[in-house]
Amino acid sequence: MKWYITVGFTVLVMVSTLLIRIPVPGGGYFNFGDVVIVFCGLYGGKRSGLIAGGVGSAMADIIGFPLFAPITLVAKGTLGFFAGLAHDSPSRIRYILPIIGAILMVAIYFAGTWFMPSFGKAAAIADFPPNILQAALGFVGGRLLFLAYKRIETGK
């Protein structure tokens, strides 16, 4: 993977995270960045997914929610890394690894929000359902986007 493609993916993750922001109860927001993160990992591999997911999302948080940027760096980087592990994996594993990444992302956000002094347990619980929904939609959307890309690439 060329470095400039990873840089482009990083910017694409940031823009897709900032472009459409739908507020959720705990103070965060729903966005389409996870779709791009899963696609980036599946397309570019674990390094590209890790960098684009973690750095791109953290940069978006620096603009909108700077307090969450470190948690986002780890959570979204984990999602991208696991999606990227699926890049050269057998077909069944291509589905399982991004799901594991999405589960870990939700768990990281839950724990990070819970232990953040200004948010705590109530915010972590309030954000849990929207985070699950975003992770699920990110997985499905990213897989569909990748399948569409593969279909276009092969001409079938």
pLDDT at residue 29 in the model: 77
- Structural domain boundaries, residue 62: 3-23+33-154
Alpha-carbon span 100 to 79, nearest angstrom: 8
pTM for the structure as a whole: 0.93
Sequence-distant (6+) residues with CB within 8 A of 70 are 58
What CATH number is associated with residue 134? 1.10.1760.20
Using only C-alpha atoms, the chain has a radius of gyration, in whole angstroms, of: 15
Give the pLDDT confidence of 96-128 residue by residue, as tens digits: 999 999 999 999 999 999 999 888 999 899 889
The total domain count for the chain is: 1
pLDDT digits (tens, 9 = 90+) for 24-62: 766 667 889 999 999 999 999 999 999 999 999 999 999
Q: Please report the DSSP string for 81-106 in residue order.
A: HHHHHTTTS-HHHHHHHHHHHHHHHH
Residue 28 belongs to a domain: no
